[in-house]
Structure 1
Amino acid sequence: MMVDISTDYMGLKLRSPLVASSCGLTSNLKNLRSFEESGVGAVILKSVYEEEIIHYTKVSITRMLSSGFIYPEAMDYFEFEFNQIKDPLSDYLNLIRNAKAELTIPVIASINCLNAEGWLDYAQKIEQAGADALELNLFILPSDFTRTGQDNEAMYFDVVAKILSKITIPVSLKIGYYSAALGMLIQRLSETGVKGITLFNRMYDPDFSVDTLEFTTTNVLSHPSDFATSLRWIAIMSERVKCDLAASTGIHSGQTMVKQLLAGAKVVSAASAFYVHGIPYAQEMLSDLKRWMEEQSYPNLDAFRGKMSKDRTYNPAAFERVQFMRYFKDR
């Protein structure tokens, strides 16, 4: 049985539902070629941070002013300067251009941001460079005791409104799960005009040595069991949003990819699996997906996508249950 694993995501045509997530592996053209050769449907470039954008933009402006160009035409010089100097921002734009020139799969840029200040003009440059879409890795840690939950959530909508007024390519949000009303937040964000929402971004967790009291990094890579949180919320939200959903974190096998698709995800994005097994591991994941579809007689992804979502499964309460007691009552 021949199966079709192509899909569409944010209006883009993808040959497979496996997406290479934003990470260090997607920061150079050689790896991007390898991802394409391994069968992924799209690549999301490593994020550029709003702090980088603001810093290097200020550096360019400082150079412009120090050169004596203070009349209106100086902005033409600024544009030239911005595109000629060697810095991470111009390098990122060149990576987009080169990737679009060589790859046949969609190339999605990524900006890691906290608010809508200082980087919107650069987002326009990303669009002009040829990116097929833009992912905003947006996470607000609710640790500011002067801000309410409503204040924090308002920041999401402010960012979305401003970026959608600046660019025309599809925009997706990659968000965290800290929210007192997460389901409602996801639903409302899906109604803003964004084309996709990724559940969830992987957060940095601090750790420190008890001997030296120095901070260290911990759990940089996801664990295969980490998929459960996004699986729950993909299943809960898949029938209740007005944009595509992508599942992220803990995608380490073809079986996990199948689960997320059954829950209702349009695509799944993976990174840690490729760090552990190598980029060609994408072929094995996709082969597992095809094999399962053949065994279950599913001709395409739409034939089973969302079959285990909360609104369609035989046991919707399973996604609402948060206590372990029923499993341990006899032990």
Structure 2
Amino acid sequence: MTDLKIKFAGLELKSPIIAGSCGLTADINKLKEIERFGAGAVILKSVFEEQILMETERVMGDGNYPEEGDYIRNYIRGHALGQYIELVKAAKSNLSIPVIASINCLKNGEWVDFAHQLEMAGADAIELNAFILPLDEFKESEEIENMYYDIIKHVKSRIRIPVIMKISHYFTNLTTFVDKLKAYGADAVTIFNRFYEPDIDIERMTVGVASVFSMPTDLRTTLRWTGILAGKDPQLQLSASTGVHSGEAVVKLLLAGATTVQLCSVLYESGLSVIQTMNHFLSSWMDSKSFKTVEDFRGKLSYANIDNAARYERAQFMKYFSDRKD
């Protein structure tokens, strides 16, 4: 009999499969279904700092007095955050699995206080979804990275519940960056966040938005860095995200060293019952390999635990093509 239980960022999960932050996780009825199909935890839909700022600018326009602008700004922000706190409370009262709140933040600041409010509302943990687009050519990379460190340090100074930092792979030295996030207090790291990406319509000659869903091939970047980061630091708590569309992908990421695996796009494309399907695949695979628990095999194929670590390195890609004769 296999046991899918796992410990993640100090939380007890009945399965390593987590429903990632998305529109589906803002609906209480869908959250109940997600639990019923066997998710180990749920990450609520993010509250977006950027969205609140844009809504404020839209309402204010150009003709407001400073006092009026402050009132509008505080009202919109308070309304959005109040609604989110109610979502956290509703999720906690209806679910028995861990409920992780999600803040999509652009900078350090008032979000520290909001994290504290989410803790008081009952959130079991907070995932900080941060992406700072480096558009200022006069800013050094170290300055950009320090902004992430400041966010995690300040949030950790105010709350006691676990904090998970969700990041992209756009860093010069990802291993050092993640190591410092952990040193500054991150209880876990999620790799990787997925963004709205631009696309160009060559007929209309307009810039639009590309498909927001991931594809199975997107797993490769996540798999590479899961293996490397877990191999560099076996104690690092990693949640692997992006490109997870099958039970096989879940097994691969756990073998590479992930502690948990997040689902998002596949929940839209295949329905919430895919969680149950993936749990069954994982359990059956463990039975076939005589593994009783997830920890029996987690990280077995990380960067540190395979004979040829170059399999995770970019140089292997060049070697593959140089050896081909046809």
In the superposition, the TM-score normalised over structure 2's length comes to: 0.90
Which digits, 9 at most, give the CA deviation of each residue in 1:152-177, with x for residues without a partner? 11111111111111211110000011
Distance in 2 (CA, whole Å) between partners of 1:162 and 1:297 is: 44
State whether structure 2 residue 323 is matched by structure 1 residue 324.
no
Distance in 2 (CA, whole Å) between partners of 1:263 and 1:62 is: 54
State whether structure 2 residue 212 is matched by structure 1 residue 220.
yes
Distance in 2 (CA, whole Å) between partners of 1:33 and 1:298 is: 30
Where 2:282 maps in the other structure, the secondary structure is helix
Distance in 1 (CA, whole Å) between partners of 2:293 and 2:136 is: 46
State whether structure 2 residue 258 is matched by structure 1 residue 265.
yes
CA-atom RMSD in angstroms: 2.4
Distance in 2 (CA, whole Å) between partners of 1:286 and 1:154 is: 38
State whether structure 2 residue 192 is matched by structure 1 residue 178.
no
Match of 1:138 in 2: 130
Match 1:190 to one of 182, 192, 196: 182
1:61-80 → structure 2 map (5 Å cutoff): none
**What letter corresponds to residue 14 of structure 2 in structure 1?**
R
CA, structure 1 residues 96+211, in 2 after alignment: closer, same or farther (shift >3 Å)? Answer: same
Distance in 2 (CA, whole Å) between partners of 1:270 and 1:219 is: 17
Match 2:159 to one of 161, 167, 177: 167
CA apart distance, 1:324: 3.0
Match 2:141 to one of 135, 145, 149: 149
**What letter corresponds to residue 315 of structure 1 in structure 2?**
N
Gaps of 5+ in 1: 67-77
How many residues are paired up? 314
**What letter corresponds to residue 160 of structure 1 in structure 2?**
I
Match of 2:300 in 1: 307
CA apart distance, 1:140: 2.0
Match of 1:71 in 2: none
- Check whether the contact 2:15–2:38 (CA below 8 A) recurs between aligned residues: yes
Distance in 2 (CA, whole Å) between partners of 1:128 and 1:53 is: 22
Percent identity between matched residues is 42
Which digits, 9 at most, give the CA deviation of each residue in 1:55-93, with x for residues without a partner? 88999x978x97xxxxxxxxxxx9xx999x8x3321211
Distance in 2 (CA, whole Å) between partners of 1:194 and 1:326 is: 37
Distance in 1 (CA, whole Å) between partners of 2:54 and 2:228 is: 40
State whether structure 2 residue 234 is matched by structure 1 residue 235.
no
Gaps of 5+ in 2: 60-65
**What letter corresponds to residue 18 of structure 1 in structure 2?**
I
Distance in 1 (CA, whole Å) between partners of 2:157 and 2:136 is: 28
Match of 1:117 in 2: 109
- Check whether the contact 1:200–1:248 (CA below 8 A) recurs between aligned residues: yes
CA apart distance, 1:186: 1.0
**What letter corresponds to residue 170 of structure 1 in structure 2?**
P
CA, structure 1 residues 82+207, in 2 after alignment: closer, same or farther (shift >3 Å)? Answer: closer
Distance in 2 (CA, whole Å) between partners of 1:62 and 1:33 is: 43
Distance in 1 (CA, whole Å) between partners of 2:107 and 2:113 is: 14
- Check whether the contact 1:53–1:119 (CA below 8 A) recurs between aligned residues: no
Where 1:238 maps in the other structure, the secondary structure is helix
Which digits, 9 at most, give the CA deviation of each residue in 1:20-77, with x for residues without a partner? 0001111110110010001000000011012355688999x978x97xxxxxxxxxxx
Distance in 2 (CA, whole Å) between partners of 1:8 and 1:166 is: 23
Match of 2:62 in 1: none
In the superposition, the TM-score normalised over structure 1's length comes to: 0.89
